[in-house]
Amino acid sequence: MDLYTVVTSALCTLLLPVLLLVTAVKLWELYCFSRRDASCAWPLPPGTMGLPFFGETLQMVLQRRKFLQMKRRRYGHIYKTHLFGTPTVRVMGAENVRQILLGEHRLVSVQWPASVRTILGSGCLSNLQDGQHRHMKKVIMQAFSREALDNYVPVIEEESRQAIAEWLESGSCVLVYPAVKRLMFRIAMRILLGFEPEQMDPANEQPLVEAFEEMIRNLFSLPIDVPFSGLYRGLRARNIIHAKIEENIKEKLRKEPESCGKDALQLLIDHSRKTGQPIDLQELKESATELLFGGHGTTASAATSLITFLGLHKGAILKVREELESKGLLSNKPGEKKDLSIDILQQLTYTGCVLKETLRLSPPVPGGFRVVLKTFVLNGYQIPKGWNVIYSIADTHDTAEVFPNKDEFDPDRFLTPFPEDASRFNFIPFGGGVRSCVGKEFAKILLKIFLVFELCRSCDWELLNGAPTMKTGPIMYPVDNLPTLFKPYHSTL
């Protein structure tokens, strides 16, 4: 074989796959471009659509924050991409997000990726539409009424005090994020699902916590249900959770309604009984799983961020304690300690500002998903019917000009009320519109009790690794799990 033949063969072997790949990518781009609405004269947003079929899902799942930051720098506040099998427009900025959130049922409708819908199920609140969503939300909101929240306070106190006492007694490094997740899981199991403390011994609790973590890790995955895929692992973990919840549902059904507490799951069961419809076990399990996901995953993320920011800014802890002292809440002397209530918690203005600033800088949920019902124009770009829209909470906070020195932790910025028009969509840690988080008041109360009455009154702490690197997967968390040393704090009052 002569040299010419060898070189030609080598070039063909190397170049042919490259040419095929380039051709496939170009055809993919043409296909994606054809998905635009030809009847609309406005252009598609800038951006790239990635590889055939996979789009840019793999880059997003593997790189997450780095990938999203790169996209924002390159394309601005609105750009197109292809994620989870669907052409997608990602949106940030108060005015852009306002149009998305207020366009519910008119321009857009909620639609999470196929993997989320499959794992959480069609019967959960976040996947319901229109009248069904409004009706179910009204039922669930009974679990977050003022009266219900007041009843939850002692449980939150008890669980928080017990967990923090264990951290102090250990005398060694505590990995905060896993520890806080266990705490918030116990609180959510008791308050939202009505589990009794004796049902939650470590032998039963740990497998559930691990199953939840596995489910959450795989919520956003390619919609391919084959062994060892993300979707397969997520479904297997969900089935473990469903089995445990089913046990609790059957136990509640065996009891008389009057003998049961009024946790969120019991309210759903009572509602089914009142309608005269047969109890739908699958629907109840899906709703309960969603409540647990929203009730412990996001609060664990926020509580970990609170410990982080206060550990880095000791002056803020001093201000929290000054506020407690001014309300007569710092003393632990017999006869001087006040019982907690919603009224007392709502008087803690600076503490509320600490919580807001934490959620501004580190919102637990990075954004939300919608599907476009009809083509519309957003800031000069067409958003075609059938495409997905992701609105970004984290990027909207990060780009909001209403917050000066936005990279600094400064709770004082919230002491002066912002004009309603300026703050409504610049600060959206709980989403907005008709789909805003149903448990946001519960989350605020829980985090205030954890932060103020158990953490700041009991502990001083040191972050052993300093400021952590944060990652989203899909909830914000510290990569190093935030190793921290806790020491007792003794008030002089």
Is residue 20 domain-resident?
no
- Would you place residue 432 in the very low, low, confident or very high pLDDT band (cuts 50, 70, 90)? confident
List pLDDT tens digits, range 152-165. 898 999 999 999 99
Q: What CA–CA distance (Å, rounded) separates 20 from 14?
A: 11
Rounded to an integer, the average pLDDT of 243-249 is 88
What is the percent of the chain where pLDDT is above 90?
Answer: 38
Q: What CA–CA distance (Å, rounded) separates 56 from 156?
A: 42
Is residue 8 domain-resident?
no
Is residue 343 domain-resident?
yes
Look up tokens 């004082």; give the residue.
412
Q: Look up the domain containing 125 and give its range.
A: 35-488
Is residue 18 domain-resident?
no
CA distances from 454 to 161, 164, 250, 337, 488 (A): 6, 7, 35, 13, 11
Is residue 13 domain-resident?
no
Give yes or no for a contact between 281 and 246, defined as CB atoms under 8 angstroms apart. Answer: yes
Look up tokens 């968390």; give the residue.
477
Is residue 321 domain-resident?
yes
User: Could you give phi then psi for residue 475, rounded to 5 degrees?
Assistant: -95, 145
Task: Choose among 211, 206, 265: nearest CA to 238.
Answer: 211
Q: What CA–CA distance (Å, rounded) separates 217 from 215?
A: 6
pLDDT for position 395: 93
Q: Which two tokens stand for residue 319?
A: 């201000």
Q: What CA–CA distance (Å, rounded) separates 189 from 195?
A: 6
3-state secondary structure (DSSP) of residue 88: strand
Residue 416 has pLDDT above 70, yes or no: yes
Give yes or no for a contact between 389 and 444, defined as CB atoms under 8 angstroms apart. Answer: no
Q: Strand pairing partners for 174?
A: 484
3-state secondary structure (DSSP) of residue 147: helix
Q: What CA–CA distance (Å, rounded) separates 109 from 132?
A: 13
Rounded to an integer, the average pLDDT of 29-50 is 81
pTM given for the model: 0.87
What total number of domains does the chain contain?
1
Is residue 328 domain-resident?
yes
CATH number of 83's domain: 1.10.630.10
- Would you place residue 484 in the very low, low, confident or very high pLDDT band (cuts 50, 70, 90)? very high
Higher pLDDT, 389 or 110: 389
Is residue 247 domain-resident?
yes
Lowest mean pLDDT among 60-64, 325-329, 474-478: 60-64
pLDDT for position 11: 58
pLDDT for position 283: 84
Q: What CA–CA distance (Å, rounded) separates 79 from 67?
A: 13
Q: Which two tokens stand for residue 316?
A: 């803020």
